Structure 1
Amino acid sequence: MSQPPDRDDAEEVLARLLPALRELRDGNFRRRLVVTGDGAAAEAAAIYNEVAERNQRLAGELQRVGESVARGQLPVAPVTLDGEVEGGWALSADSVNFMADNLTSQVRDIAQVATAVAAGDLTQKIDVDAQGEILQLKNTINTMVDQLSAFAAEVTRVAREVGTEGKLGGQARVYGVAGIWKDLTDNVNIMADNLTNQVRGIAQVTTAVARGDLSKKIDVNARGEILELKTTINTMVDQLSAFAAEVTRVAREVGTEGKLGGQAEVADVSGTWRRLTESVNRLAGNLTTQVRAIAQVATAVTEGDLTRQITVDASGEVAELKDNINAMISNLKETTRANQEQDWLKTNLARISALMQGQHDLDALAQLIMSELAPLVSAHYGAFFLTRTAEDGRRYLEHTAGYGRPPAREGPPLRFDFGESLVGQAAVDRRSILVEDAPPDHIWITSGLGESAPTSVAIVPVLFEGAVLGVIELAGIHRFSSVHLDLLDRLKESIGVEVNTIVVNTRTEALLGESQHLASELQARSEQLQNQQDELQRSNIELEDKAALLASRNKDIELKNIEIEQARQEIEERAHQLSQASAYKSEFLANMSHELRTPLNSVLILAKLLADNMDGNLTPQQVDLAKTVHQAGSDLLQLINDVLDLSKVEAGQMNLLPEDVVLGELARSLESMYRPVAAEKGLEFRVVVAPALPSSVHTDRSRLEQIVRNLLANAVKFTDRGSVELRIRLAQPTEVNSGALRRARQRIVFSVLDTGIGIPADKLSLIFEAFQQVDGTTVRKYGGTGLGLSISRELTTLLGGELQVRSEPGEGSTFSLFLPSEPTVDNPPQPVEPAAVETSAVEAPAVETSAEEAPADEKPPLPRVPTDAASTLDVSAEGIDPPLRSSELLNRETRPHAYGAVEPGQRGALQFNSEKVLVVDDDERSVHAMRVLLEQHGLLVVNADNALGALRELRTHNDIVIVLMDVMMPQLDGNEAIRMIREMPRYRDLTIIAVTAKAMKGDREQSIAAGATEYLTKPVDADRLLELLSEHLPAGMVTEAE
């Protein structure tokens, strides 16, 4: 019996469907079934065709995405499926698109961070948790960023998204699915959360596969070809599950565990499935190669190796990341080289400048420069020519020192006139000359084994304030580098300063010796004149007694008169020469004051900053050492001031500023200052003020305090046990020796009593002499210069008083200062030396205070010629320093307390708000000290080494609020620079503080007249400077630190 026709058609369709399903199972999606008729068989064929079409399209899209990612061609176009798809098909397409988007975003973020690093923006940092090779990459990059602190901060956002969140393009979210699809989605999301979306499992099955459910298999009972179809479909599901498992494994190893180099292994696949597997493996392989190459280079940079470059092949944004990292390494290498050159330049500038200091011989200085400078710039030949002046005034250059070419052993040294040869031309032009590719026969550099011709020759003039003091010629086998030429250019001014200093010092010493010789000759001529005058008087007496011989002796008398007139003229000429010698001496002391105060300025400021230890990074021992340096510098400054004070007093140039001094206030001030000092030595200290005293005394307060402080300081210094007492009371007329004091309405006596070592009788008159002490031996116990009492005696005379002393060895001493309650004379008195003293418990007669009691015949016959530099030095209270402080007069046993009287941190309470200050000074040490001080208090410092540079800085920086202007500078002095600044409308009201170390008389008035707001002398007192800055800064710019 025959079967119905539709059954035959179904069997035919099933017969064609079974091999097609086998091919579909094996990954061949190109076969299609012909659909004829209708019914279940036709529907099954149509469903198969639809499944095969979708599988083929999805496999092609996956292959395209995999190849694009493997080649680094980002971004990847999304996977698209024609027609309306849903379920597992839509899920698969969306998952692949999510993978591509996430991978694109991840690589772009890595490239963005690398681009920022290459551009110098290292504010981001990877701080995500990671494992395996990803952890190694993270640690390597973070270490690189940490060690390159000037170029990196942190790669925050990219590190968090790539390593911690893994959220570079969103996550795959598939709703309404379960089983293997949910596991696959979760695995892909876990991979995306950690590193990349490299693997997508795409499966295609029949209707159940299209819904994305791989946990189901065909379990219907069937036989025959239906069973084969079931087996074929179930086998396809198994293969898809195996593919999904491999993709999940690779994603876990690469994305979660950080194990780069993993490969997917799916057995028994071919066609599209095999190509898809190979595409995923290529993606993982390329990513592994690129990440490892970046990690290797980053590790090398972290270890300081800047020669490595990333050479791995890449394209797209990965290639851009590679180029950016390579550019970053190149920029870092160039910056490191530039910093090393600057460090070398500054170090050698400072070293050579330090070596030149303290030299006194020009030839030795020239040889020192050649021996140090030639090897430093890789020169093998050198010559130093110093400028000399011939008798006719013509200047020439003479060979003084050499390197590889010693001076001539016989005959005169090699000489060149200005303009002769390149050496002379460099002197005329005041510019350096560089000869490259010198001809072979120019000069020969010889050694013990041979000789060779130099390649480059550099000729550098030595300048001081525009004047040529010499020329240096250097030659080398190799070309001079730019940093070598920069060093030579910067050194020519420094060498000029040292050469000029030696020349000036030599000339000054010669002038000083000449002035002393002239003074000796003048004294001899004066004695000769006096003898001649005595002889003339005797001759006149003889002429009176022998009138008869008048005619015969008349000619002799006329000759005597002519000789007397000649002697008088000669005396006047000698007096003029002595006045010139005094001027030379004044200039010498002024220059020495400037040369001592300039380096002392840097020493005191830097030592004070170290002693304050505001950063707290010094040990107590280091702080004590800094305090010792500061105190030693202060002692040296006090010695300079003492010498100038004494010189000015002796020259009659000390100006007094009388005022009403409240005695009670003065007593309290002295007690608060010396009570802690005495207590530190275990001494009892008392201040006794008599009740019947007037409320005030009219005198110069600063000079009065200077005298009393000196007496108290000496009492504490020379008293080891017992007490020190200050008594202030009214004195009786009988207690004083001066007639002017006896006639005064009231006399105030300041007595300082101590129980110290006392003074021997034979030393009482000696202690008032300059540089004299009771214990003047080389093993003396107590320090000091011996100027204190000498200055006190002279100041007492100026104040119209007298100074008495009573002392007994072993019992103690009493120094008494007698002053009138108000001035008694208008004209300054003449000092009188103290008379002889008694032996035991004696009193040294006081210094007389009034010139009216001196006999008339004691007046000098000629006008007084000042012979002390104080007549031209401004050592008044305005010009140099305030009155002596106790810390400057005490010995080293009491200095620690006196030093600590100003606690560290009192200056630190002043903090500014990053205002800009211009420091103009040609001394690098002073600039460095000022910079450290000002920057420590929140100020920004701009510096210039001359006046013209200051004008340039003012035009460049519009926000400068204060200028610290050094007065003595080359080319253009500070006062002229201040005038030029004041002519600029913008800076008419700018605060300008003039600073000088020379302190010549009238300097302050000249600076104020030029337009300076304030005037300070070196060494600059840091507290006073900060106080001035806080006074002149606009409101709101100064804050008190908590």
Structure 2
Amino acid sequence: MRNLRINIKWKILIGYFLIICCVGTSILVVSNRISSLQLEIETITSRDIEIHNLITTLRYNAVSMETSQRGFVITGTEIYLEPYTRGKAEWEANYNTLYQYLSDDPSSRKSLEEIKITIQNWISEAGEPTIAMRKANNTQGIIDFFNEDTGKQQVDDLRTQLETLRQKEITSTRDHILDLKNRNDMLIISLYLMLIIVSIISFIIVSYVSGTIVKTIKDVVKTISEIASSSGDLSTRIKVNTRDEIKDLAEATNHLLSNLNDQYWIQEKVAEVATMNQGINDIPTLAKSFLTKLAPMLDAAYGVFYIRTGTGDQQRLVKSASYAAFGDEAGHASFRLGEGLIGQAALEKRTFLLNAAPDHKVSLQTGLGKLEPKSILIIPFEFEGKVEAIVEFASVESFTSQHLKLLEQLESHFGVAINNVQGRMEVERLLSESQVLTEELQTQTEELQTQSEELQMQQEEMRMTTEHLEEQNLFAEQKTKELEKAKEELETYSEQLRRSSQYKSNFLANMSHELRTPLNSILILSQMLAENENNTLNSDEAGYAKVIHTSGNDLLALIDDILDLSKVEAGKMILTMDEVNISEIPEHMHLLFNPVADNKNLSFDIHVDANVPPVLYTDGQRLQQILKNLLSNAIKFTETGSVAMNIQNADPKDIQKYIPDQIDKHVLAISVSDTGIGIPLDKQQLIFEAFQQVDGETNRQYGGTGLGLSICNEFTKLLRGRIILDSTPDKGSVFTLFVPSLPDMEKEQLVARNQEVAAAVETKLEPPAVVSAPDIVDYTVSESTEYEGQLFKDKKILLVEDDSRNIFALVKALENKGMNVTVANNGKQCLEVMSKQTDFDLILMDIMMPIMDGYETMKAIRLDSAIKYTPIIALTAKAMKSDRDKCLEAGASDYISKPLNMDQLFSLMRVWLTKQVEH
């Protein structure tokens, strides 16, 4: 009988075991299939999407580099190079990431290697060379390159290669989706078959076991009925006084009730935790909710949640949430695998239960004080054999076996929950990248909806995200239209700025004419008065005339300074590059500034280092203008002490710091130092701006226009150099000019000039006959007074001028030399006069005149065979770039700008009158 009872017991256990095995097998199979499907979904949503995005990004990098390269070559603006630089820095990283995804496919790997070679060839053969030529202003090289334009074919090949690779990956993704659908259909069929098989096996087991124990439990039916009638109170127990198998059955039943009660409690808590997990889409919220829900169930007074992050050697367990933590005792921020009990639990995938922790760092904080924990529990939560999180609980009481069983039940469930939340986070990230793939995933999610409530929730979230993305797309389209409108407005504004610049240039040219015209007569007449050849003025009156002449020259210098600034600002200043003899600079500066320094009792010294090369290739005129300005300012602002100029080779460190683009050139450092008033730090940059001085108040102490340093700064930039200032108030200043030797810059200047000439020629018709002007006019010709008198006497001069003041001044000056002057007030009168009289020895032709200007008049003269070889000297008050070329092209023999320097004018006249005599 005893054995019989044991047999019955074992039959029950075996029956339950078999049922559990069947159910467990079914769950395991289903879990494996669901995991496999989920892995396939992740592959499609992560790997395939990433591959497509990388291919698109790589193509975008290449197109951006090509567009930026062509934009820079066309405009020469550095901002167009930003997409090229960014694409050049990013494409290889994107390529390497894509290569890692496709390295297991030989054909894809081969395609990627061909793509890499194509991009590298384009950069080395098209991108970098054209950019370098544009930076060097090698226009002909750029034109020659684009005549062949091998880079376009390379970019076209690259687009074809990328599109072929993208189509191949799209086909692969489509095959994955079809395979996933087939497996999903097989899963549904397997589930139904498994359910039928498990049901049949369970029915057989239950029938057999129940048949063997029905007779045994009849004696306790009444008691069990009472238990059943007590509203399912599993705490009720069967009491039997007999000592037979009924008692054993009763005890077994009581034990079963206890287990069921525990299991019911566990299942209830597991259900609560599972319900709590629903709708959570981020790990911190999940961790906080888990601790808040589970800590009371385990009677824990403290808890901390660590989530695994990173991959490989970079894996760490990072604290995501805590429960009842206080101040700095909230737990370590992170652990490496194997570090501490947290890291060790993750490494070994095992639970640690410490029932004695008197020296534990954690103290449980209450309103009344602190308590030491009695038991500490560390649990890893896994998913598919991989630890996803570690949770630590501390309690003032020992954790029970029931608590441990609850955690055992939660280990697998909660690991799935963590993975699902991470999956949802990943899905949401992927949804934001591609709306099309989101719709495909939504379709797949709907097909799997009948199998998992969790997946249904994800599908709903994806749908809502898709709607949000559509709204974002509409918003982006609207923003794009607004940006296009803003672009059109900017282009309009740019055109307005260009016109404004042109108006400014025209204004300066016209103002130059309007100022120089009256200034011409002032200078001519004041010079004649100052010379006082007829001794008609006393010494004071002659001095007044010299003051007037000097003031006029100062005004002329101011006009020239303003025009120089305008030319530099408009990019129309052409440098004359030549060899500059360094040894001549000290002599010239001493000649100019020794008298001024002696007058102020200042010491003036110039030192040239022995190792300075004898020749510097630059624009000597602009260099001297810069040095004159610096020395003039140094002497003007120095009352006592000294002014010095030092010429030496520049230190390579200074070249690297101030003009790094000239590091491969020879650079001179010319410093001008003084012991004058000095310049405050807050005004050291201001003085290089136009019309600004150190004493910038209305009552300037030192005078001047404030244009000198501004012009020096602009000329220095044209010479590819830099001016550096070091100054201390009341102690003096040191201006250091770094100027490089530029033997190749003349070619750049010639290219710029040829382009301008070519553009001008295209707009002209047949050019008129022009009397060739001498390349260089020597204004220092020394001739005897007798020869000049004979050369000028009785010469017939035709003066074409519309300003009465200039007519009066010029006629007086010319008649004083014995010449006969005929006046025409405009070009039309000039032609009328010459139609009646053709024996003029020389014509002085003003340019800006009413009715018919000087250009048209000279062209008409050169078309008349009777007078076409008469020398014409153009007189113009316009002093902008190319005015001389325009005059010569129109037919002038030579050119002189107003206000006229009469000595210079007479020198020109001697040259052309002499040529007439020789003919």
TM range (shorter): 0.3 to 0.5
TM-score (norm 1): 0.39
TM-score (norm 2): 0.44
